[in-house]
Amino acid sequence: MRKKAKTIITALFLILVLVLLLITLNGRGRNDVASAPAEPVMNNEPAGLAEHAELPETEAVTGRQNGERFEEVIILEGMEETVRYEHVRNDTIGFEMDYDYEHFNRHSESDRECFVSCYDDPDNPENYLEVRYNPHDADTIAASISEALSNNYDISKNDSFMLDRAGRCIRIDASAEKGGMRMPDLLQMVYVIPASDGCRVATAHYSIEGAEGFGRRFHYFMDTFSVIASQGEKRLTDEQAVSAIRQYCCINNPDLGGIVSAEEYPAYWDISSSSENEIVVVFRSYTGSLNRYYIDPVSGGTYVTELVPGIIDEEQRTDESLNVWDYLF
């Protein structure tokens, strides 16, 4: 009996092993079927088209009117923040953008839009974004701006920086003091956005203390920036002419800005005369010489004369010439 019982137990054990083996093999087969790659989904559209096929023209993306307000959530200093935006459309300069109207005040002028921190003195702000039109191509203007900023900063230039709506632009980062000994007190980030009628130049100014806060907010502003067709003939204002000539002089003489700021020697730029067809800017150098810049307010073409009391007593035209639009930033 014992032998018979032992035989039965052995048979049951073998049956159990066989059942387990069959279950294992069956499960492995199912897994093979489940992991088999599915049939590929055929897409007859050209590469890249499917992703952007529904993306309309820039103006249709927003569909917002100048002054329209709305809310969006952004990430600032690692935290979500609900921001109240106002839409800007400037047909003269030729751009659209959204800005945070709770933290910035909009200042519109004939030749620029300026968005100034509500905590700053509007007449002498530290934290602000300025947008201007320039009729020259983006590469030319970016080169001029880089040259000017290089007098005081170690700049970093990215020729293929991407903005969400405007696409490729040239970004110039002026956040390191020349020589690299310390961080500058005031930083600049310049975006030169190409357009069919020239370019748009947006310059973010902010203090080192506000780099994380204001710098990030300006970044979000610029991702909403888009170029639209500008309207009307572009003409230089007297203020633009003086500003551009000052930039030009300081680029050609990097020490000039410091000399003028120190006020050790008399030096100034001013309007000598202004008419529909010509603006004349006079520069009185610390050396005593007088240079006059005769500017075409539409083309920006400029020629220069010189007068040095006691040496050149009559105004004489020099070989120097420039285009004022190249130095307006």
In the chain, domain spans: 62-227, 238-327
Angle, alpha carbons 190-195-196 (nearest 5°): 160
The answer on pLDDT for 61 being more than 60 is: no
179-196: pLDDT as tens digits: 877 788 899 999 999 999
**62-227 adopts what CATH topology?**
Protein Transport Mog1p; Chain A (3.40.1000)
Query: What digits encode the pLDDT tens for the residues 63-119?
Result: 789 999 999 998 887 889 999 999 999 999 999 999 999 999 999 988 899 999 999
Per-residue pLDDT band at 201 (split at 50, 70, 90)? very high
Average pLDDT over residues 284-299: 89
The pLDDT value given to residue 39: 39
Task: Tell me how far apart the alpha carbons of residues 42 and 46 are, in angstroms, rounded to a whole number.
Answer: 12
CA dihedral sign, ordered 231, 247, 251, 302: positive
Looking at residue 225, its pLDDT comes to 97
pLDDT above 90: residue 303: yes
pLDDT digits (tens, 9 = 90+) for 10-52: 655 566 555 555 555 555 444 443 443 333 333 333 333 333 3
Which of residues 113 and 264 earns the better pLDDT score?
113
Q: What's the whole-model pTM score?
A: 0.68
- The chain-wide mean pLDDT, for the chain, equals 82
Q: Which residues contact 51 (CB under 8 A, 6 or more apart)?
A: none
Amino acid, single-letter form, for residue 159: D
Please, which residues have CB within 8 angstroms of residue 65's CB and are 6 or more apart in sequence?
87, 89
At 217-263, the pLDDT tens digits run 999 999 999 999 887 677 889 999 999 999 899 888 888 877 777 67
Quote the CA–CA distance of 172 and 155 in Å, as a whole number: 7
Report pLDDT for 314.
Answer: 85
